[in-house]
Amino acid sequence: MSRTLAVRLDNEGDVLLTGPALRALAATTDILDVLVAPSGLAAAELLPEICERLVYPAPWSGFDPPPVDAAATRELVAKLACRGYDRCVVFTSYHQSPLPMALLARLAGIGFVAATSEDYPGSLLSVRHRRPDGLHEVEAALDLAYAAGGRLPAGDDGRPAVQGPLPDVGHLLDDDEPYVVVHPGASVPARALTAEHAGSIVEALRATGWRVVVTGGPGDARLTAPAAARGALDLGGRTSFAELATVLAHAHCVVVGNTGPAHLATAVDTPVVSLFSPVVPAERWAPYGRDVVVLGDQRAACANTRARECPVPGHPCVSEVDAAAVVAAVAGLTTGRAAA
C-alpha cells in the first residue's frame, strides 16, 4: 500500500490553492496525508481526498513563526517515520525554502522527497523541481505534483474546491434574501480594506438593492463593525472557517481583499471582486476562479514588496478604487442573479 505525505506549512489560503495538487497526488497513491501549520488546519479540513491531517508549527514559516522546539521536531520526525511514507512532496510559495522540511523528511526515512528549490539541495531532494515562469500558485503546485508523479483524474478541472457537506448557517443569516459579502480584513494590513472604504462599498451596494453581509475573523471587529454600520449584517468573528465557506457559497458575489477568504470564495464557486493589493503579484496570487474581477493599481509603489504594513500613506492601491467601480464589477458578475 503506497503512502504519500504532502506538506504545506502556510495559511488557509495557501492550503486551499494547493488543493488541486493534492488531488493529483491522491489519484496516484493509496493514502494521502497532509502536514500543515496550525494556521492552515481549518482549510485542510475542507479539502477532499485526504486521509489524515498532521499539524506542525514550523519555525521557518508563517507570519509569526514560533521558536525552535526540539522536542516537537523530534516528535514529528518519529511520527512520520512510524507512518512509513513512500513519497513526500513539499509545497512552498516561490519565496520560501523547502529544505528544512526536506531534511526532516529524510530523517524520518522517506526515500523520495520532491520540492521546488532554487537553492542547492545537496542530497535532500529526489526531485529538484524548477518553477516555470508565469504560473499562478495553483498551477505551480500542480506542476510540482506532476513532477513528483501525480496526475489529476479525468474530469478534474484543476481548480480549488472544498468537500461537503458544509455546515448550516441559517441561524446566522436570518433569512434567504439574496446577498453580497464584503470581507474587509486580511492576515496583514497591507492586503486589507480600510473600514471607511469597506463602509462606502457597503453603502453603494445597499443603494443598488443588495442585501450585504460583512464577514471577518475574530480580530476584525475594528473593520467589520464600522463597515456593517452602513446597513449590513455583521458576521465578523461569528463564523468558523467552515461556516464562512457556507456563507460565501450562498452569496451571489464576494468583495474581498488579497486574503484567504478570496480563495475560499472561488473554492465554493462564488464570483469574486478582488481588491488586490500588489504587495505580491496578482498573476500568482489572485483568486483562481471562473468569475473573478481584479481591481486595484497593480503598478503601485508597493508592488512586489511583500510589505505587511502599507508603505504608502492612505493605502491608495486599494483605497482609491471607487465604490461605484466595485458595484459595476459586482453587477457584471451577477447578471441573471440580480438583487431582489
DSSP line for 262-324: HHHHHHTT--EEEE--TTS-HHHHS--SSSEEEES-TTSTTTT---SS-SSTT-HHHHTS-HH
Is 174 inside a domain boundary? yes
Q: What 3-state DSSP class applies to 211?
A: strand
Instruction: Examine the domain organization and report whether 211 and 304 are in the same domain.
Output: yes
* pLDDT attached to residue 317: 86
Structural domain count of the chain: 2
Looking at the fold, whether 326 and 186 belong to one and the same domain comes out as yes
In tens digits, what is the pLDDT along the chain, a chain of 340 residues?
999 999 999 999 999 999 999 999 999 999 999 999 999 999 999 999 999 999 999 999 987 899 999 999 999 999 999 999 999 999 999 889 999 999 999 999 999 999 999 999 999 999 999 999 999 999 999 999 999 999 999 999 999 999 999 999 999 998 789 999 999 999 888 888 999 999 999 999 999 999 999 999 988 989 999 999 999 999 999 999 999 999 999 999 999 999 999 999 999 999 999 999 998 999 999 999 989 999 998 988 888 888 888 888 888 889 899 999 999 999 999 986 544 4
Residue 34: C-alpha distances to residues 101, 265, 286, 332 (Å): 13, 22, 24, 38
Residue 187 shares a structural domain with residue 315: yes
Q: Is the pTM of this model over 0.85?
A: yes
Q: According to the model, what pLDDT value does residue 336 have?
A: 63
Give the CATH number, domain containing residue 8. Answer: 3.40.50.2000
Residues 272 and 225 in one domain: yes
Question: What are the Cα distances from residue 180, in Å, to 94, 166, 248, 305?
Answer: 33, 19, 9, 31
Which domain range does residue 50 map to?
3-147
77 and 18 within one domain: yes
Same domain, 132 and 216: no
Q: What is the pLDDT of residue 194?
A: 93
